[in-house]
Amino acid sequence: MESKTVLVTGGSGFVGSHCIVQLLKAGYNVNTTVRNLARENEVRTMVKRGGILAGDRLKFFASDLTADLGWREAVAGCTYVLHVASPFLIVVPKDENELIIPAREGTLRVLRASRDAGVKRVVVTSSFVAVGYGHEPRAKPFTETDWTNLEGDGVNGYAKSKTLAEKAAWDFIKQEGNGLELSVVNPVGIFGPALGTDISPSMELVTTRIAGRIPSMSGLTLSVIDVEDLAVLHLLAMENPKANNERFLAVGDGLIEAAAFAQILQVELATLGQKTGILTLPDWLIRFSGLFMPQMKVVANQLGKKTLISNQKAQQMLGWRPRSNEETLRRTARSLVELGLFK
């Protein structure tokens, strides 16, 4: 039987590259979009680092979330779509609509192309910032039934963009989906092994913390998810019939205090023979540091808060089992060393 084909948007990214690896390992053919086809060799190298030679099972298409060009070709013949890509902005705009409009319109653009191509299901990568922000402190865990309060304190343009983009996706399915199925994955801070130098905003938190670039993280607690576990959850949400019309929070085994977070990283890096007092950030990371600011501001807003988040739905409905926070952070440290971020 011929393998089914899946489109992964944003295949050069931290999450997208891991999704490609998991799909290829599972026997799927993969189409992926990149803004520039010149990145094909880079992505193939990342996939190889993930343990698989893609060959002709991986095809590339030039598409941008801000334009219609290329989407029909990218999605043609696909059974599923994993919409992982996010709009690309070098600096944080003063006008939050510069974040909100591309995020929302890009998601709708992918959904329309998927519907028109006869795709069975789209899995959208949203975020916990669309679930648990703008609320008063609470004792009970956040679940998939919660939504960010856009009028609440500390809700910046990044959180608004993710929330409004996800809500637009659900509205589209109800009003004009014509049978297209939708599942949504809402990850917390994403860590774990990178396959290339395109790392997540959460990984930037690791580098800034160890370098001492964040003066104080006293009182900060974090929720983390390993990028490989996140990719696996995308596949489960894609394949399982029960996942249609459902959201899934992607979070590991509970909160971790900033002090414990830093200690695990320092111990692992010391084991690898790395001096962690000074971090040399490569030029590409400095140049694009504006990309990380939305989530860094979100992190700052969480100082002193202990936000409980439940992953029971994904575990019970899909049989998903994330690894421990400690293992995730150790894998993160090893990856950053291998990428040459610590010197």
218, with CB counted inside 10 A (0-12, 13-18, 19+), is exposed
Q: Residue 71 and residue 154: Cα distance in Å, rounded?
A: 35
Closest residue by Cα to residue 214 from 269, 258, 254? 258
Q: Which amino acid is at 199?
A: I
pLDDT in tens, 63-88: 999 999 999 999 999 999 999 998 76
Ramachandran class of 89: left when φ > 0, alpha when ψ lies in -120 to 50, beta otherwise: beta
Per-residue pLDDT tens over the stretch 147-164: 999 999 889 898 999 999
What pLDDT is stored for residue 202 in this prediction? 60
Q: What are phi and psi of 248, to 5 degrees?
A: -140, 120
137 vs 142: CA distance, rounded Å: 11
For residue 338, count other CB atoms closer than 10 A to its CB. 13
Domains and CATH numbers, the chain: 5-338 (3.40.50.720)
Query: pLDDT tens digits, residue range 245-295?
Result: 999 999 998 787 767 777 777 777 777 776 544 333 333 333 333 333 334
Q: Is the pLDDT of residue 214 over 70?
A: no
Q: Report the alpha-carbon distance of residue 314 to residue 316 in Å, rounded.
A: 6
pLDDT above 90 as % of the chain:
60
Q: Regarding predicted confidence, which is higher, 154 or 312?
A: 312
pLDDT for 79:
98
When pLDDT is cut at 50, 70 and 90, the band that residue 222 belongs to is: confident
Query: 128 exposed, middle or buried (CB, 10 Å; 0-12, 13-18, 19+)?
Result: buried
Residues 3-61: pLDDT tens digits? 899 999 999 999 999 999 999 999 999 999 999 999 999 999 999 999 999 999 999 99
| Range name among 136-140, 224-228, 231-235 with the lowest pLDDT average | 136-140
Rounded Cα–Cα distance for residues 113 and 278 (Å): 47
Residue 135 banded pLDDT, cuts 50, 70, 90: very high
Helix (H, G, I), strand (E, B) or coil at 39: helix
High-pLDDT (> 70) share of the chain, %: 80
Q: Are 264 and 252 in contact (CB under 8 A)?
A: no
Ranking 58-62, 98-102, 150-154, 197-201 by mean pLDDT, the lowest is: 197-201
Q: Which of 100-104, 289-293, 332-336 has the highest mean pLDDT?
A: 100-104
Across the range 126-140, mean pLDDT stands at: 93
Residue 334, Cβ density class (10 Å: 0-12 exposed, 13-18 middle, ≥19 buried): middle
240: Cα within 13 Å, side-chain hemisphere: 21
Residue 228 has pLDDT above 50, yes or no: yes
